[in-house]
Every structure is written in C-alpha cells, then in structure tokens.
Amino acid sequence: MAVMRKRFSSVCSPPSAEENSASLYDSVPVSATDPPSEQEHPSISLLCCHRVQDSLLSSNSSFTKYRGILNWIIILLVLTHAHLFLENFIQHGFLIDVKKVLEHLIEDNCNWPSVNLILAANVFAITALLLERSQENGLLLLSSTHRLHLTNLGLLLLFPAAVIVHEPTISTGGAFFSLWVYTALGMKLYSYQETNRWYRQAHFTDAGTDRNVSVAQKAHNEHLTFKDLYYFLLAPTLCYQKDFPCTPKVRINKLLHRLLEMVIVIQIMVGIVQQWIEPIFQRSENSFSSMDITMKVEHLVGLAAPTHFLWLLFFFLSHSYLNFCAELLCFGDRHFYGDWWNATTLITFWKNWSIPFQKWCHRHVYTRLVEKNSSPSRAELLVFLMSAALFECMIALPLQSCRLWVFLMMVFELLVAVFLGNYFEGNYGNGLVWLCLLLGPPLAVTTYFHDHYISSPRNQSSSSTQTSEQHFPGTAFLQPH
C-alpha cells in the first residue's frame, strides 16, 4: 500500500515545466523495470486528469496556433465580399469600360502635354551632369556649383506644377504620372549632386595623404557619364552611388512574370474603381466638405473596403514594377520593402513601407539635420512632416484641389502612434496599425477623387441627365442620339 500511495502522489503531483507542454491525454509512462506490484493497475495514470493550465484564448496562454481561425476569417471575408459584388452587379450591371480609363489618359488635340513634360525632364538631368563635369574640370567653384544645383532643382519642382496648373489640355492621369516622374527625378538628382560632393571630398582627403590628385580625379571622372547617370535615373532606387550591385544576367521568365502581374493587377484595379467605387460617387451630388456628418460617415464606410483593396493592389503593383525594372537593369538590391504587415507600431510601418524612400530620407535629410545639431526626435518629426507635405502635394496638385486631408490624416496617425503606441503592443498594436491603414490616408485620397469626380463637367452632365430621366422618363426619347 505504501508503494501504491507513492505511485498516486507521483501521478497527481503538480507537473513540472517540461510536463506542462505535454498533451492532456498523455499517460504517465510505466518503466519496464518497475516491480510487478506497480504494474497491476494499468489505469492508475487516469486517476488524476487535472493540472494548472490557462485557456487557449486567454492572454496568459502561450498558444499561437491560430491558422484555423485565420482560414475561417478568410473564407468569411470571401463570402461577404462575394455577396457585395453580386449585389453590386444586380443593381448596376456590368460597368467596366476601358474606354473611360483612356479618356482620363488621352489628351485633347493630340498635343500630349504630359509626354512633352516628361521629355523636358531630360534638360534638368543633363544640366546636373554638366554642372558636375564643370566642377571636376575646375571651371566652377564649389559654392557656385552648389547654388546652381539648387537652382536647377528648384526649377525642376516649379516647372511641372506651373504646366499642370496652367495647361488646360493635360489629362488627370498624365498630370499624376508626370508629377510622380518629376518628384522621383528631383530626389534622384539631389542625391546625385550630394553623393558626388561626398566622393569629391573623400578623393581630396585621400589625395592629400598620398599626393596622387590626378589619379583620384580621373577615377571620379570616369563615373560622370551619360550612361552612369541614366542607369541611375532608370534604376529602382533614389540614392546614388558609383557602383551598384548587379545580378549576372536578365532572367526572361522573371521579366515576363512581372509584366503579366502588372497587367493583371491594373485590370483588377480598374474593375474595382468602375464597378465598386464609381457607383458610390454617383450617389452623391455634393462634395465631402458640404455634406452633413451622417452622409460623410455613410460614404466613408462604403468606400473603406474598396479603397483598402485598391491600396493593397497598388502596393503589389509597385512590387511588380520595381522588380521588373530591377530585372531589366540587372539591379541587385531588391530590398524595396520590409515586413510592414507585421508592424506592431505605425513608426515601424513607416520605416518598412518604402525602403528606397526611407533610405533617401535618412541619408539626405535626417543625417544632415543631426549634423546641424538637431535632436534625433526633432529630425524624425521634420522628416515625417516633409513626407506628409510631399504626399499631399502629389495628390492635390494634379487634381487642383488642396484640402490638406491627406496631410492632416498622416498627422493624426502620428498622434495615434505617440499617445497610443505604449498601450497597444504585440497583436493589439498590429491590429491598430491595420485599422489606421483601413481608415487612414488611402481613404483621404479617395475623398479627393470623390470631389474631383463630382466637379467634373462630364460627370455633372451625366448625373443631371440621369436625374431628369428619373423625374421625366419621356425626356430620354428627346435626347439626340
């Protein structure tokens, strides 16, 4: 009996840390060397079936296998949005029309002002190269070259803005594309002149130590060529350096794969805009600024899901485009983004969303501010405000409507990150990030397009025609066909 009591106490004793990881139905192993008296009761391990443990869904549990719940959420989302697509198709019919997309791209009188605007950007790039060559040949002083570079960059920023505002024949799509090209070109050329200045300083320092000025200057002049400049301008990066890491060859299968991805994603984006977003725009006759609060909330809730899907597709389109350019140019550094979808704070998301832009801001703005005795926190704030203002200009200028919605939304996200970041950590922080992405700047961008759609003369005439047909059905037969 003493042996049996000892056996019971060992079975019902609290489990150790190693035993806590075992399954609930695992039986206590019986050693083959145990005396025959201890093996006479095979059910002795079933006498104690309880132990100290937490529920799987409690916060104290270390359970992490939620794949089944994730599959359930995915299936539920697919079924829910399939119902929305079906309801939209029954109510509005098939609305996808490629001709409407071309109307926003094709410009009047075949003048193609956006194409001419992009071609004119070569003047600023060549000017930057000639300034660098003049500096290397001793024709210009360092201070004069720097001032001329800044003047060239200032004209580069003002020129597309003036054309977009004062050229009535430029299309909305052409204005967006040309402004994005000029913005990327301005950042590239700033990095080009700044990095060349660093190279020049390094060469002069080395030459001062080993007295080999001509060799250092010649080595630097070899990179001041049109081939080197335009490779940098076409490469998927914003930061210049002499020698970029390259892959051995172009993989045709990868190139075609990325091209097919871009074609499919663009078609899906067009379908979402025309089939889902445009009918919501058509139900409104007023801009967001003139709506009452109830109508604003209704429209924003209706636009949240399609806008979010459109934003995710735009990210995947950027992924395909950047990898297509990198494969075509054998560009080796393809770390274009981090795992922003796992970000537990908004600051982590901003640092991983666009690695090329983050590298440029850290290299040419943040570091320069810190060198001028600015505190790191203040430098980060200035970089964030600069990026928010740049994003606002890139959306508002082509639509010629500055309402500061995108800028204010990004500032609001900054306040959320500062004041609520310490209260939401782990999975809760990741949920807060996704909530801000769902109701943040992408939705603010959609409000810009909503007001642009409402104020468009073509859409105003079509909406007035639809209204007259609803009130006076007989007038539809009086319209000229």
> What is the spatial distance between Cα 463 and Cα 467, in angstroms, rounded to a whole number?
6
- pLDDT tens across 156-202, in order? 999 999 999 988 888 888 899 999 999 999 999 999 999 998 888 87
Q: Residue 121: pLDDT above 90?
A: yes
Structural domain containing residue 193 = 112-234
Q: Look at 38 and 146; give whichever has higher pLDDT.
A: 146
- pLDDT of 451 above 50: yes
Shared-domain flag, residues 270 and 341:
yes
- Does 190 fall in a domain? yes
What pLDDT sits at residue 5?
52
Among 361, 399, 422, residue whose Cα is nearest residue 161: 399
Categorize the per-residue pLDDT at 401 as very low, low, confident or very high, splitting at 50, 70 and 90: confident
Q: What angle in degrees, to the nearest 10, is found between the helix axes of 172-210 and 376-399? A: 140
Local confidence band at 106 (pLDDT 50, 70, 90 cut-offs):
low
Exposure string of 158-189, with b = 16+ CB inside 10 Å and e = fewer, is: ebbeebbeebeebbbbbbbbbbebbbbbbbbb
3 has a pLDDT exceeding 70:
no
Min mean pLDDT across 16-30, 115-129, 253-267 is at 16-30
Confidence bin at 262 (pLDDT 50/70/90): very high
Reported confidence tier of residue 49, pLDDT bands at 50, 70, 90:
confident
Residue 261 vs residue 11, higher pLDDT: 261
Mean pLDDT, rounded, for 250-264 = 94
Q: Where are the beta strands (DSSP E) in 220-372?
A: none
Q: Are residues 322 and 432 in the same domain?
A: yes
DSSP string for 95-114: ---HHHHHHTTS-GGG--HH
* 286, 227: one domain: no
Place of tokens 């790039």: 125
* Range name among 31-40, 92-101, 247-256 with the lowest pLDDT average: 31-40
- The mean pLDDT value for 292-312 works out to 87
Same-domain pairing of 343 and 444: yes
387/346 same-domain check:
yes
Q: 448 lies in a domain?
A: yes
CA distance 324 to 236: 9
Residues 256 and 398 in one domain: yes
pLDDT in tens, 313-326: 999 999 999 999 99
Confidence of residue 42 (pLDDT cuts 50, 70, 90): low
Q: What is the pLDDT of residue 302?
A: 85
Q: State residue 237's pLDDT score.
A: 95
| 433: Cβ contacts below 8 Å, ≥ 6 apart | 343, 344, 345, 346, 348, 349
In Å, how far from its chain's centre is CA 417?
18
Residue-level pLDDT at 142: 82
The verdict on residue 120 lying in a domain is yes
pLDDT band at residue 98 under the 50/70/90 scheme: low
- pLDDT exceeds cutoff 50 at 29: no
In this predicted structure, the answer to whether residue 385 has a pLDDT above a threshold of 60 is: yes
Same domain (yes/no): 413, 299: yes
Q: pLDDT exceeding 70 applies to what percent of the chain?
A: 77
Question: Residue 289's pLDDT band (boundaries 50, 70, 90)?
Answer: confident
Q: Name the nearest CA neighbour of 409 among 372, 374, 448.
A: 448
Mean pLDDT within 354-364: 95
Alpha-helical segments (H) within 329-374: 346-353, 355-361, 367-371
* Mean confidence (pLDDT) of the chain: 80
Share of the chain above pLDDT 90, in %: 41
Q: Which residue has the higher pLDDT, 251 or 477?
A: 251
Is the same domain home to 212 and 265?
no
Mean pLDDT for 53-58 is 81
Asked which of 202, 234, 266 is the last residue of a domain, the reply is: 234
Looking at the structure, tell me whether residues 152 and 222 fall in a common domain.
yes
List the single range of 14-18, 179-183, 273-277, 342-346 with lowest mean pLDDT.
14-18
**Cα separations (Å) of 274 from 247, 296, 465?**
40, 21, 19
| pLDDT value of position 481 | 34
The encoded tokens of residue 108 equal 């009047």
Same domain, 199 and 342: no
What is the number of structural domains in the chain? 2
Give the residue from 234, 266, 289 where a domain finishes. 234
Last residue of a domain, one of 207, 234, 261: 234
100 belongs to a structural domain: no
User: Which of the given ranges, 34-43, 87-96, 239-248, 281-290, has the highest pLDDT on average?
Assistant: 239-248
